[in-house]
């Protein structure tokens, strides 16, 4: 585990390196902040000042870090029940600052991940799959919430880089899920987009709830070209995000620290990394470093395009 002070110091160092074009990866900066020593009392008392400095530095360097990586990219945002609105709004603000277009903001209702409603979700997933003839995309041997995740993904996101237009199937899925009080969707139906940001909701600290959340996130990830899950620092430490990270999420990326500007900037960089084919766990308690490191690029194209330019 790393101290908060060391985490902020590592973030500032990495942001500074990225801002001047330093190529990072397995070098010394990738291990900054990975110090097991307990912080001294004075270090703890200085945490607020360091956090403020880290956020100020992130704000000043964000536009340079973003470049054109997400310019014009279509993104949907799903806030799970109990999500901190400041995290959601902050991430949306940074996505827009990076040039991304927010195609739709969706809210997961309590029923979506409540263990008490698992039977209802399972029945609804079965009904939708059969009625819409989606058996190939949503196999019956998957868990209830991986199936509902794939179905919600079919309505909201796409694996196509340019996205896909909304259709009768996507509209029906959203209508049924709204009727079942699983999600709240925009009144005006929008097209299916390639990228999704999921903001973690209230802490459950329950093994069954973790399994349901894992299924939902994994199912959504299968339907999207790229997905990033954002949670708070505490959630990444020993909360639901930490437990989620212990599961197999496939190509889904995670970022903790979402209540801070540094974390919100990292969420955007994480989406850029996912777009380039790199999924990881980033933040104060992420196994892949404090900040996502993306290849230097001023293009809004794919990771392959960036590689060809080198």
Q: Which of 268, 281, 197 is nearest to 235 (CA)?
A: 281
Q: Which of 4-13, 130-139, 145-154 has the lowest mean pLDDT?
A: 4-13
Categorize the per-residue pLDDT at 27 as very low, low, confident or very high, splitting at 50, 70 and 90.
very low
Domain ranges, ordered by start, for the chain? 66-309
Give residue-wise pLDDT tens across range 246-296: 999 999 999 999 999 999 999 999 999 999 999 999 999 999 998 887 665
Quick one: pLDDT at residue 163? Answer: 97
> What long-range pairs does 95-99 form, CB within 8 A, spacing at least 24?
95/70, 95/197, 95/268, 95/271, 97/62, 97/63, 97/66, 97/268, 98/62, 98/66, 98/69, 98/70, 98/71, 98/268, 98/272, 99/66, 99/68, 99/70, 99/71, 99/72, 99/73, 99/300
Give residue-wise pLDDT tens across range 156-183: 999 999 999 999 999 999 999 999 999 9
Quick one: pLDDT at residue 310? Answer: 42
What is the C-alpha separation between 57 and 75, in angstroms, rounded? 25
Quick one: pLDDT at residue 88? Answer: 98
What tokens were used for 140? 């019956």
Residue-wise DSSP of 175-233: HHHHHTTSEE--SS---BBSEEEEE--S----HHHHHHHHHHHHHHHHHSSEEEEE--H
Q: Pick the more confident residue, 192 or 204.
A: 192
Global pTM reads 0.83
């Amino acid at each position: 585990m790393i101290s908060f002070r060391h985490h902020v110091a590592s973030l500032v160092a990495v942001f500074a390196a990225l801002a001047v074009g330093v190529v990072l990866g397995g070098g010394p900066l990738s291990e900054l902040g990975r110090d097991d020593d307990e912080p001294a009392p004075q270090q703890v008392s200085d945490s607020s000042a360091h956090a403020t400095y880290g956020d100020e530095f992130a704000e000043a360097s964000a536009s340079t870090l973003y470049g054109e990586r997400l310019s014009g990219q279509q993104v949907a945002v799903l806030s799970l029940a109990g999500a901190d609105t400041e995290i959601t709004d902050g991430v949306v603000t940074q996505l827009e600052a990076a040039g991304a277009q927010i195609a739709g903001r969706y809210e997961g209702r309590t029923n979506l991940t409540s263990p008490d409603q698992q039977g209802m979700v399972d029945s609804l997933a079965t009904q939708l799959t059969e009625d819409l003839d989606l058996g190939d995309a949503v196999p019956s041997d998957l868990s209830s919430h991986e199936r509902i995740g794939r179905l919600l993904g079919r309505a909201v996101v796409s694996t196509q880089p340019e996205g896909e237009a909304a259709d009768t199937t996507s509209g029906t899925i959203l209508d049924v899920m709204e009727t079942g009080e699983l999600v709240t969707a925009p009144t005006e139906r929008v097209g299916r987009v390639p990228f999704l940001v999921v903001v973690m909701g209230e802490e459950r600290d329950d093994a069954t709830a973790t399994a349901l959340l894992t299924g939902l996130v994994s199912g959504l990830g299968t339907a999207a070209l790229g997905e990033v899950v954002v949670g708070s620092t505490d959630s990444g430490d020993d909360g639901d995000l930490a437990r989620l990270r212990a599961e197999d999420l496939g190509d889904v990326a995670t970022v903790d620290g979402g209540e801070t500007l540094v974390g919100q900037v990292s969420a955007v960089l994480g989406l850029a990394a996912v777009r380039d084919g790199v999924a990881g766990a980033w933040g104060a308690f992420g196994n892949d470093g404090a900040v996502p490191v993306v290849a230097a690029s001023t293009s809004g194209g794919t990771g392959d395009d960036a590689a060809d330019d080198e």
